[in-house]
A = this chain, B = another copy of it.
Amino acid sequence: MKKWKSRGIRVERELARKLWSKGFAVVRGPASGARAKHLYYPDLVAFYKGRIFVFEVKYTSRSNNITLRTSQLKKLKEFKNRSGGEAYIAVKQPGRDWVLINLDDIRYSNDTKYVTIKLENHISLEYFINTVTNIELGEYIEEKN
């Protein structure tokens, strides 16, 4: 159990470093233990020139899907709404690329405790980064012309 948790922290750090290296500012929340006692904090928040991206980070060895607590999704949703940003579940699997699931694409009913999401049809980290950082480039080019 402890090993599993430290693996989660390791992939969180990996995601933080990748985003930072691409020009994002990044904050990782306090460890889960500290978190539970106080306010809700997401695992990671990244910023890029005024845009806000809120992440819950998941590590799983299942190949096709991930199961999430709806209570966590609700907290993430409130954080997203307060912040005015976008929210994602960032899923890391051993030997595979990150998959990013936009919170807006997750459908669940309020009376279920868990929701299982297929990982196919969601975007990769690379796609996410390119999209966010290229929009700026597009605007820049427009401004120059």
Give the interface of A toward B (CB within 8 A).
13, 16-17, 20, 23-31, 38-39, 41-42, 45, 47-52, 54, 79-80, 82-85
Contacts and interface: CB of A to CB of B under 8 A. Distances in A.
Number of copies of this chain that the complex holds: 2
A56 B50 CA distance: 19
A112 to B, nearest CB: 25
A73 to B, nearest CB: 16
A17 B38 CA distance: 9
B25 A28 contact: no
Contact of A79 (B17, B25, B28, B82): B25
Contact of A29 (B17, B27, B79): B27
B16 A48 contact: no
